[in-house]
Amino acid sequence: MTPLVVAVISAAVGYVFAQWLAKRAAPFCLCSHHYGAHDPTSGACQASVQRKVNLDDKGRYQTEWADCACLCYTGPKLPRGWVTIGAQTGGKDG
């Protein structure tokens, strides 16, 4: 194999590995919401979820938005210096 082929294969493998590692290391709770969606004091999830309500005349589900029922962040433990974006900007995103 030529050095160019080896470099391309190595880059592709590295990219796939980095994507896999980033997904495993991300602080997501069992409710599938990010750490930042949970209240820092109570731990309750502040995000909304879309749920199926009932079938309409054509057999399609109607949906509505409701508060997530998660009461405590159960994802991976975060490093001591972890700060959410909202906390960095004084609670204002932007």
Confidence class of residue 88 from pLDDT cuts 50, 70 and 90? very low
**Which ranges of the chain would DSSP assign to H, the alpha helix?**
3-25, 85-88
pTM score, whole prediction:
0.46
For 26, left (φ over 0), alpha (ψ -120 to 50), or beta? beta
Q: What is the pLDDT of residues 22-72, one digit of tens each?
A: 665 567 777 878 777 888 788 888 888 888 887 778 878 888 888 888 888
Phi, psi of 86 (to 5 degrees): -60, -35
Which residue shows structure tokens 């930042």? 36
Distance CA 37, CA 52 (A): 22
CA nearest neighbour of 51 among 40, 33, 31, 66 = 66
